[in-house]
Structure formats: structure tokens, C-alpha cells
Copies of this chain bind each other. A is one copy, B any other.
Amino acid sequence: MIVVVHAHPYPAHSRGVKALLGAIRDLPDLQVRSLYEMYPDFDIDAAAERKAMEEASAIVFLHPLYWYTVPALLKHWIDTVPIRGWAYGEGGAALRDKACLWAVTTGGDEQAYSAAGRHGHPMATFTPVMEQTAKFCGMEWQEPFIVHAAHQKSDAEMAAVASRFRDRLLEIAG
């Protein structure tokens, strides 16, 4: 089973994330956990989340980039779900060898993510926080799926990106 941990504080304002989600919703053996719908008050049910993760063979984190990393509720999920003795440390192997795909949309275009751009760095500079989090839990880090400037794309362009996302998930599902 692929579990998609979806975090968008303002789903109505979402173009990229919504399109990506729309392209995969019908895949068999897939579960979407929309954190901002499930836990609007930040009261994450960590036990339920852990149970869902245990059943997954792959975990996809799908969200817009907020200040170069995950939105706060997903950070709260990361702070509370993968604990010592479950995700790492003695007896902590619940996430080991599961595939981890980081699927991120950004407001800025690709040029904005460069040394000369308004974000001062390529996206790869901001990747280690998530990548090392996954690796620390023994997960198999996948090449991230990054969508820049979704709001500037035509419908056809966005559909093509969403289709590539679906293919990536099918590939990961094996």
C-alpha cells in the first residue's frame, strides 16, 4: 500500500497539489491522509498515524513548499509520529526500507531557485532536511518530485506533470 501524507493548509488555493492528488486518487492500494482536514486543530492522533505507516510499503509526502520546507502541520506530524523505539533507536524499525517520495510544489519558478534567483539557492539546497529525516528512519529516499510554479502552467502542462506523477507512483508501487 502507498500512503500519501497530504498537507495543504489552503486546499482551495491549491492548483499543483490538487492536480497531483487528482491524478492518483483512483490508484489501487493507495490511501490519502489529508492532515489539514483530519487534524485542523493540530491534535494529531499519533497512534493512528503510526498504524497507517506500518501498513504502507511506500510513503509519499505531498505538499506545497512553505518557507523552504514542510507546512507546520506536517512538521508537527514529523515531530510526533516517528518516535524513538518505533522509527529509530533500539527496536525502532517501523519505517525501515519503505520507499519515501517527497512531492513538492513551489510558488517560484525554477529560475527563482538558483544562486541568482530570489530564493538564492537551487531546490537541492533545501532537500537535506527531509532527505535526512527519511534516511534517519531507514527509509529508501527517492528522487524528489518537484513542481515549480504550478499556477503558471497551462492546463495541458499541468495534466502532463500530473500524469508523470501517477507514473512515478505506479513505479514505486512495483
In the complex, which residues 37-85 of chain A have their Cβ closer than 8 Å to any Cβ of chain B?
A: 41-42, 66-73, 75-76, 78-80
Chain A contact residues (Cβ within 8 angstroms of B): what range?
20 to 34
A79–B9 touching, CB < 8 Å: yes
Q: Which of A112-166 contact B (CB under 8 A)?
A: 118-121, 125-126, 128-129, 132-133, 135-136
- Cα–Cα distance between A160 and B80 once the two chains are bound (Å): 33
Closest to A9 in B: B79
**A130 CB to closest chain B CB, in angstroms?**
8
Flag if A69 contacts B79 (CB, 8 Å): no
Closest approach, in angstroms, between the C-beta of A92 and any C-beta of chain B?
13
Determine whether the beta carbon of B132 is less than 8 Å from that of A121.
yes
- Which A positions have Cβ atoms within 8 angstroms of B? 9, 41-42, 66-73, 75-76, 78-80, 118-121, 125-126, 128-129, 132-133, 135-136
Known contacts A67-B136, A68-B132, A69-B75, then 18 further A-B pairs from the complex at CB < 8 Å, ordered by chain A residue: A41-B41, A42-B72, A66-B75, A68-B128, A69-B69, A70-B75, A71-B75, A72-B76, A75-B75, A76-B76, A119-B132, A119-B136, A120-B132, A121-B128, A125-B128, A126-B128, A126-B129, A126-B132
- Which 6 pairs from chain A and chain B are nearest by CB? A72-B76, A42-B42, A72-B75, A75-B75, A68-B129, A72-B79
